Structure 1
């Protein structure tokens, strides 16, 4: 399997795109990708919810990009796209997907349904995390409809994207064992693609130097 083919296998696996329905809240997960905020605004304008929560502090990939924090930057972008300020709540402290879910749930504890909007390649991790960390809510997961070729950004290039997908696959396996998310069935072809990319050096986002799917 070629590197390009392996990367697309991981991309297709990580993407979920649940069927959308009107929900109590739209939850935009902060990240380096401001297109997530734009997609939240689009869903709001289309009437999928009357409330948006943007969640996220800042991390290695966003500390310089959004010095005011991811949640604040995402709110500003959504307001530019016709979302009223009063329709947006902020959760400015989360530093990972588990905290995104837990701290957002604390803001709207009576919610029965939530649309989680994240990067395309983070959807499956987000869904598995929401199912574990907020099990009594109907979790719908979606993302901007960005093609793999268009996902890299000036500050997060194709290599960074592939490393991120490789690292997230590892985390989905280990985090399920640790109880952070529900278990996910990872097909053999996906592990094969993972191994191809690890051997090719896309290891920047791995938790440890070596990893085996066995």
Structure 2
């Protein structure tokens, strides 16, 4: 396992800060919580609903790359259960539990809303902190006519790791996600995002230090 030195954490913080969109939230038509291994995303979505940011919450996610070996219950179903326990009523919740990646999150949510006769014009997407930018780029690729804000659990890099997702794994995933931000626009998966030179340099250094477990395999 690569050493988690002060240098590594400083490089990781550059990626973390880039992944955050830092959007200022305002009321919208729909909150869309994208499923993952991080159940705190559900808490954030529920809190935003209870604070009056939107009248509808969609939870989207089946079992994806990181959760298929962890759980048997789809991500969206677990998220919805957390929201209900927090006080979000059933009538305000829709569940899409088949998607396995971010693109499918968006496309399957489009289908679900259409089936329910709904066409929200504005969204708050809730994701993990280091997935904010990639979620934004993916959503705007597949649904460019919508108004979008992105947010996540309000945690720093140092606060984020847990027993289930230690710091080393967080850094590996961030490195992989930055690579995807760079290459996925050419594949038609995302809109382009300009990556500052210092952020890409930090990425290169982290890869050289061994944080390569989540890179795209050729």
C-alpha RMSD of matched pairs (Å): 1.4
The aligned runs of 1:170-181 (5 Å cut-off) are: 170-181=179-190
Helix, strand or coil for the counterpart of 2:149?
A: strand
TM-score by length of 1: 0.94
Name the CA distance, whole Å, in 1 between partners of 2:172 and 2:198. Answer: 18
Name the CA distance, whole Å, in 2 between partners of 1:67 and 1:77. Answer: 16
Q: Does 1:101 align with 2:106?
A: yes
Helix, strand or coil for the counterpart of 1:148?
A: coil
- Pick one of 204, 208, 213 that aligns with 2:217: 208
CA deviations 1:63-85 (Å, max 9, x no partner) are 35432110000001111111112
Question: 1:31 maps to what in 2?
Answer: 36
Question: 1:133 maps to what in 2?
Answer: 142
Helix, strand or coil for the counterpart of 2:158?
A: helix
Question: 1:42 maps to what in 2?
Answer: 47
Q: Does 1:55 align with 2:64?
A: no
Helix, strand or coil for the counterpart of 1:104?
A: helix
Q: Does 1:114 align with 2:123?
A: yes
Question: 1:199 maps to what in 2?
Answer: 208
Contact 2:173 2:214 in 1 (8 A): yes
Structure 2 segments unaligned to the other structure (5+ residues) = 1-5
Helix, strand or coil for the counterpart of 2:15?
A: helix
Question: 1:3 maps to what in 2?
Answer: 8
Question: 1:212 maps to what in 2?
Answer: none
1:166 shift after superposition? 0.3
Question: 1:160 maps to what in 2?
Answer: 169
Question: 1:147 maps to what in 2?
Answer: 156
1:90 shift after superposition? 0.4
CA deviations 1:106-134 (Å, max 9, x no partner) are 22252110110000000000111111110
